[in-house]
Amino acid sequence: MISLRRMFTAAGAVGLALAMTGCIQSDTTENVVYNDPSADPGIELPDSPRVVALGWSDGEIALSLGVKPVAIYDWMSFGEQNKGVGPWITDEFGDDSPEIISAASTGDFNYQQIQELNPDLILNVRSTSDSAITDSLSAIAPVVTAPAGTPDYAVNWTVQTELIANALGKSDEGTSLIEDTQSVQQTIRDNNPDFDGKTFVWGVKFGDAYGAYLPGDARFDTFAELGFAEFPPVAALQSQGFFASVPVEQVSALDSQVAVFTTISKPLAELQGDTLLNTLPVIVDGRAILLAEDDPIVQAMAAGTPVSLKFALEGIEPQLVQAVSRVN
C-alpha cells in the first residue's frame, strides 16, 4: 500500500488528517494569524527570528529569503543530509542545521514539540485548511497560513512566497525571488512560441490507476506560464483539490498534445512498460516525457518554490522543445 506521505509527495493527495498530538491550548494567548499577502502582517520579529516551518516547502522559501528555520517539517523526506530541503538549496544553511520533524504517514503535528522549539513565527502556508490546527498553532506563536478558502495544499507558489516574505519583513526580497523565476519562465516562453496553446498534462501512475495535476499545483501552473493549456478531458474529471484521479477506463484523458508522466511508489520501468499508457498517441508519437519518481526535476517541481522551479525549468526545457516539435 502507498503511504499517504509518498502519495502527497508525488500526487498531491489531499485531505491528510493532521491530528493534534500533544495539543497545546490557551485561553489567553492571542497571536497573529496572517493569511493576506496584500496586507501588513503586523508581526514583530527579532533580528534573528526562530522560525518553525511546517507547511510544504515553507522552510525552503524562508531559507531562500535568508532566514534559516530552526525546524522544518520534512514533507518530501529530503532528510538530515539535505537539512530538510531540496539539494538545490541545502548549501544556504552553511554550517547550521535545523531540527528535522519527520513526516509521519498521517501528517501528525506534535504541538508539544513545536512549543518547545520556542518559535517567534510558525509557517503553515502550504498545508491543510483546518481552523482547529491554526488555533492550536496560534496558541504557541504567530502563524502564517494560506488565504481563506484556499483548497488544501493548493496555494499558488507566488502567493506562498509573498506571504512568507511579508511575514519575515522581507517583501522586497520575496518580490525579487518571484520575479527571477518568472523571468526564467518568460524567457523560455519567448524562445519557444510553439508552446503557446498546446494542451499539457502532468500525469502519474500509482497503484492500479492514474492521475493528473490541476491548476493550483506548480506541476500544472508552471507549464501554464510557459503557454501550455489545460487538456479539457482532465478539466472534466472529478477533482480532489489540485489533483484528479484518472480511472483505467478514462486513461485517454491523459492523451494531450504534450505530457510529462511519472510514478508514485513505482519504478520507472512500470511506467515504461505500461501497456495501456503505451497505446496513447502522446507516448507513441514521442510527445511525452517520462521521468522517474526520484528524478531531480520531479522533486523540484513537487517542491514548487521559486528556486526549485527555476532548477526544474532549466532542466526540462530541452525535453519540452523536443516533445513539442513532434506535435502535428
What residues does each domain of the chain span?
4-169, 183-325
* Helical axes 306-325 vs 157-167, angle rounded to 10°: 160
pTM of the model: 0.88
52 strand-pairing partners: 71, 122
As a whole number of angstroms, the distance between CA 110 and CA 23 comes to 7
From residue 135, give the alpha-carbon distance in Å to each of 17, 143, 147, 272: 16, 9, 15, 46
Cβ–Cβ contacts within 10 Å for residue 209, how many?
A: 14
* Res 188: pLDDT: 97
The three-state DSSP-derived secondary structure of 316-328 is HHHHHHHHHHCCC
Per-residue confidence at 328, pLDDT binned at 50, 70, 90? confident
Q: Element (H or E) spanning 124, and its range?
A: strand 121-124
- 52 pLDDT more than 70: yes
User: Which superfamily is assigned to 4-169 in CATH?
Assistant: Nitrogenase molybdenum iron protein domain (3.40.50.1980)
- 247 pLDDT more than 60: yes
* Res 13: pLDDT: 37
Per-residue pLDDT tens digits for 185-216? 999 999 999 999 999 999 999 988 899 999 88
Per-residue pLDDT tens digits for 276-318? 999 999 999 999 999 999 999 999 999 999 999 999 999 999 9
Check: CB of residue 122 under 8 Å from CB of residue 101: no
Q: Element (H or E) spanning 182, and its range?
A: helix 171-191
Neighbouring residues of 220: CB distance < 8 A, sequence distance ≥ 6:
200, 202, 213, 214, 230, 242
Q: Which fold has domain 183-325?
A: Rossmann fold (3.40.50)
Neighbouring residues of 207: CB distance < 8 A, sequence distance ≥ 6:
2, 264
DSSP 151: P
Check: CB of residue 328 under 8 Å from CB of residue 105: no
Quick check: do 4-169 and 183-325 share a fold? yes
* Res 318: pLDDT: 97
Q: Which three cell numbers stand for residue 130?
A: 483546518
- 30 pLDDT more than 90: no
As a whole number of angstroms, the distance between CA 10 and CA 210 comes to 12
As a whole number of angstroms, the distance between CA 163 and CA 159 comes to 6
* Res 307: pLDDT: 97
Instruction: Reduce the DSSP state of residue 210 to 3 states and report it.
Output: strand
Give 83 or 25, the one with higher predicted confidence.
Answer: 83
* Res 102: pLDDT: 81
DSSP 52: E
Closest CA to 141 of 15, 54, 37: 54
* Res 7: pLDDT: 42
Q: Are strands 199-206 and 121-124 parallel, antiparallel or unpaired?
A: unpaired
Give 66 or 107, the one with higher predicted confidence.
Answer: 66
* Res 209: pLDDT: 87
As a whole number of angstroms, the distance between CA 321 and CA 289 comes to 11
Cα-to-chain-centroid distance, residue 197:
24
